[in-house]
Structure 1
Amino acid sequence: MNEFPEYDEIHVISDIHMGGKPGFQILRETRRLAGYIAWVGRQRPSGRVGLILNGDVFDTLAEDIHGYVAVDEAVATLRRIMEDPSFSGIWQALADFVRLPGRMLVFVIGNHDIEIAFPTVQRLIVSRLAGNDLSARARIEFSATGAGYACTVGNARVYCTHGNEVDAWNYNRYEDLAKVGRRLNAGRPLDPGEWYPNAGTRMVKEVMNEVKRKFAWIDLLKPETSAAIGTLLVLDPSQIKKIGRLISIVGEKVEGRQQVDQRLSAEGFQTPAPDAAVPLSVDGLLGPNLLSGRASGEGCADAMLLEAEERIGHKDALSTLADGTLGTPQLIWDWMTGVGKDEALRRALLDWLAKDKTFVVDDQDDTFRQVTAAVGPAVDFIVTGHTHLERAIEIADGRYYFNSGTWIRLMQFTPDMLKDTKSFKEVYEVLVNGRMERLDEARIKGEPFVMDQTSAVSIVEEGGKAVGRLTHVVGDGSGKPLEIKKFPEK
């Protein structure tokens, strides 16, 4: 007997991000997704087929919850997502899928759906999808401890993991999640002070969600780096009042890097030391293109704040920003950057997207390098998600790596768009409008601004060997996806 589940084929998707109220939702192709789930269910009627949801299936960070993680609210929050008309068709398609013989549905934990680790949430999902049908219930499996999901397809071994395990912004502390699950089962509350979120969660909840209320598209930009803060501050200068907190958030990445490197050595509910040094300054938050707008052309951001101190005789420039002594946040921002908002946003995006290889499918990004280094040579196919950036790479030792991309909207900023203020004008008008509907309708130089791209990975037994494909699901999802890359190629 094989030690891992055996399939004739598996299909992997990730980063669906079901969550948020209308106007706050970043998943668009809901009908297509339901159609794709039904299509997977029709493959190999007499064979064994797996559908693997490889993390960030739902998104509690987009929901109105108290604190950083839904604990007592977890079941109610997920029930709201399931019943939301925008997403209910997807849950119905999953319910139809698990009632088919020879099918298996696997939920892998991500960093936006960490509540999937709680037994109460797992029971809700199983009940919603399978009811009292014991056969259907047996076709649902959860991988929520950070171990990923391992299986075989034909003669190949496959390993699926979300990918945030190697991301210092967004790692999960699974020991903490297990402790929360124990408390929920035991009927004990969790003191909010016991849960210390990672840097990515803090950034979303403390800063991005507030900006997102006016600029709904901000969640669509990747990757998450400290350079993103410049864009956030340009869009909403009131965020400058939080600049001291932003420095500490980015400093959490250092703490996170240590936890990621140590991996299983972390103890539960450990918070950073209150006196831990944060090796960052304001310069670490604002990129060189944005700061180049300073009228004098000289001095770093910290020097600008020092100048602010001297002007008002205040000892702490960050406190000054926080209490508004320098005037309105917009005036502070204009004074610091020395350019208009349109040019400041263009420069901030240049910093955020510097050396951008978002849509290069064979780019060996950080997630590829770190995950492949952590996975042993016995694994033939590695599949991740998390970054929202689809990838298909042949590893030098003859193995293969895929990233299953995302199902949320994607925007692509070309060099021509960001070349100068004039070139950026058309894009700027769309972005400052802020509404998702305007983004969906926008055409830049005649082309849709939002890409029509929903990605999936399939690994299928063909002629005695396993063949992996990166694909794009199109139309209503009911037809065969378009092949983008195939391994082995022959």
Structure 2
Amino acid sequence: MHTSIYVISDLHLGGSPGENGRPGFQICPPRTHVLLKQFIDRLPGRTPSSDTRLVIAGDIVDFLAEEPFLAFTPDPETARKKLARILDDTAQVWEALQRFAKRDGALTLMLGNHDIELALPGVRQLFLDRMGPGRIDFIYDNEAFTCGPVLIEHGNRFDEWNAVPHGALRRVRSQLSRALPVKPEFPVLPGSRLVIDVMNPLKRQYAFIDLLKPEDAGALPIVAALGAAGFRDVWQFFQRFRQTWAVDFDENREPQDQEFIGAGDQSDQQLFDLAQDIASGGDAAQVGAVSDFLGQVAEAVSDKVRAARRSALFKAIRSTVNKHRDAFAVDKELDTYLTPARAAAAAGFKVVVYGHTHLAKHVRLGANSDAMPVYLNSGTWADLMRMPDAIWQADADRAASALTAFVAELESNALDNWRRGVPTYVKIDLDDNIVCAADVYFADSDAQERVTTGALMQKLSGGSSHG
């Protein structure tokens, strides 16, 4: 039988809209909900000679974007209310999934790191009730989804900031199922704490912060240069994280400790050091005072201070040029994800699919030019934002001028020229469990357009708003 597997991930449905039609805390806005509904409605159902499976590989909804903002919502009633609000606000997506199930399509739902609460007993039941009847399964206990030579998972367990301690989560589920108090508390993820304690407050001041990619420590020098008041909190949080969360990977980036996946990334340390230097003028002891001073510029910014801020920002951005470019290179991926993908290939899998990073990828895993085995990343349905190419040009004066114009829009939260919805999906075709084709495609039309670096850069280029 012929089987087509479609993989999408990182929908991040949820969050309140902002004022005057702005997205606010929605990183997957209503215009993308429409595209998602249309994509699901185009999927064929099962026939006597073919089958179709849709895998939604984690971060389906976003509890971190729902008020009250919590790094983890252990109270089942509060979590149910958050989910119910998301389901109501994005009803067209769930209705499309129900129609797909009625066509006898198979639906596999997977847990990510922004939707951990979906695994909790009462929340999970509400979620599955909304799906309705059909060939629907929900994987929420750290398993990967496999279909013959295909392996699919969210990918967060290889990320030291966002690996879910599933042993602790099982304990919480067990306690809640018996109406027992959750003791000890669930050890919330460092990445979730970063979102709640730092990113969400910064987002009120700088709406771009969770749209820039790469979405990790690479954004912190930029935030420091902008004088964001939360920079000191970021630094203190990072120090606590390094002391309490870091554990070792083995050679395949599997966790040595069954609860966590860890190991400090020295590039994170270097980026924090750069941010610290920018904020303090080279004296780390002054970082708090200087960032507090810079934080006042929103109220009264002299030309001199503005120039100093932009000079620091220019230094921060130019120092990360290779990291930024590689993030959007479809044929390049971090070893964080390639190492476990190669281990999966060595175990016999021909196609390895992750999500989590929000960056679509197609990287061959073999030693030669064979199409298989291959690593694919399904990308995201959340919005992205990429800095304009002019910032990276060799002529420093022209680059600085381009940066000045770009930062002026960032400072005023005028993001329409730079915010882009570029949803992507993976499609894998199998005949009797033999892979015929596997690639990642753009989902913003019914044409099956492969994601390439050039096409992705074009869709992300600034100057006019898409959709």
Same fold (TM over 0.5): yes
Larger radius of gyration: 1
Counterpart of 1:439? 415
- After superposition, the Cα gap between the structure-2 partners of 1:389 and 1:281, relative to the gap in structure 1 and judged at 3 Å, is closer
Could you tell me how far apart the structure 2 residues matched to 1:88 and 1:75 are?
16
Could you tell me how far apart the structure 1 residues matched to 2:151 and 2:234 are?
40
User: Which deviations, in whole Å up to 9, do the C-alpha atoms of 1:134-182 show, x marking residues without a partner?
Assistant: xx2xx11111112211113xxxx11001111111111111111111111
1:401-420 matches, within 5 Å, as 401-418=375-392, 420=399
Does the Cα contact within 8 Å between 2:5 and 2:54 map onto a contact in 1?
yes
Counterpart of 1:80? 85
Could you tell me how far apart the structure 2 residues matched to 1:252 and 1:170 are?
16
Counterpart of 1:466? 436
How far residue 16 of structure 1 moved from its aligned partner, in angstroms, is: 0.8
- After superposition, the Cα gap between the structure-2 partners of 1:364 and 1:329, relative to the gap in structure 1 and judged at 3 Å, is closer
Counterpart of 1:160? 152
2:99 is aligned, of 96, 99, 113, to 96
2:115 is aligned, of 113, 116, 129, to 113
Counterpart of 1:394? 364
1:372 aligns with 2:341: yes
Counterpart of 2:27? 26
What is the TM-score of this pair, normalised by structure 1? 0.76
Corresponding residue SS for 1:107: strand
Corresponding residue SS for 2:222: helix
User: Which deviations, in whole Å up to 9, do the C-alpha atoms of 1:181-211 show, x marking residues without a partner?
Assistant: 11121112325x6222222112111100101
Counterpart of 1:426? 405
Could you tell me how far apart the structure 1 residues matched to 2:146 and 2:228 are?
46
Counterpart of 1:450? 419
- Specify the code of the residue in structure 2 equivalent to 1:26: I
How far residue 365 of structure 1 moved from its aligned partner, in angstroms, is: 1.9
Could you tell me how far apart the structure 1 residues matched to 2:295 and 2:407 are?
21
Corresponding residue SS for 2:38: helix
User: Which deviations, in whole Å up to 9, do the C-alpha atoms of 1:256-314 show, x marking residues without a partner?
Assistant: 5569956274359x9x9xxxx999999761427x847977xxxx432xx2xx5xxxxxx
- After superposition, the Cα gap between the structure-2 partners of 1:401 and 1:52, relative to the gap in structure 1 and judged at 3 Å, is same
Counterpart of 2:7? 12
Counterpart of 1:216? 207
Where do 5+ consecutive residues of structure 1 fail to align?
1-5, 309-316, 443-448, 486-490
What is the TM-score of this pair, normalised by structure 2? 0.80
Does the Cα contact within 8 Å between 1:10 and 1:49 map onto a contact in 2?
yes
Task: Provide the aligned length of Structure 1 versus Structure 2.
Answer: 423
Relative to structure 2, which stretch is displaced further, 450-459 or 219-228? 219-228
2:351 is aligned, of 358, 368, 381, to 381
1:219-230 matches, within 5 Å, as 219-230=210-221
Counterpart of 1:312? none
Could you tell me how far apart the structure 2 residues matched to 1:251 and 1:220 are?
25
Could you tell me how far apart the structure 1 residues matched to 2:139 and 2:60 are?
13
Relative to structure 2, which stretch is displaced further, 162-171 or 454-463? 454-463
Could you tell me how far apart the structure 1 residues matched to 2:247 and 2:26 are?
28
Does the Cα contact within 8 Å between 1:55 and 1:108 map onto a contact in 2?
yes
Could you tell me how far apart the structure 2 residues matched to 1:111 and 1:188 are?
24
- Select the structure with the greater relative contact order (CA < 8 A; seq sep ≥ 6): 1
Corresponding residue SS for 1:383: strand
Percent identical residues: 26
1:186 is aligned, of 160, 178, 198, to 178
1:359 is aligned, of 317, 322, 328, to 328
Does the Cα contact within 8 Å between 1:109 and 1:144 map onto a contact in 2?
yes
Moved over 6 A (4+): 277-283, 292-295
Counterpart of 1:122? 124
Where do 5+ consecutive residues of structure 2 fail to align?
18-23, 394-398, 453-467
RMSD: 3.5
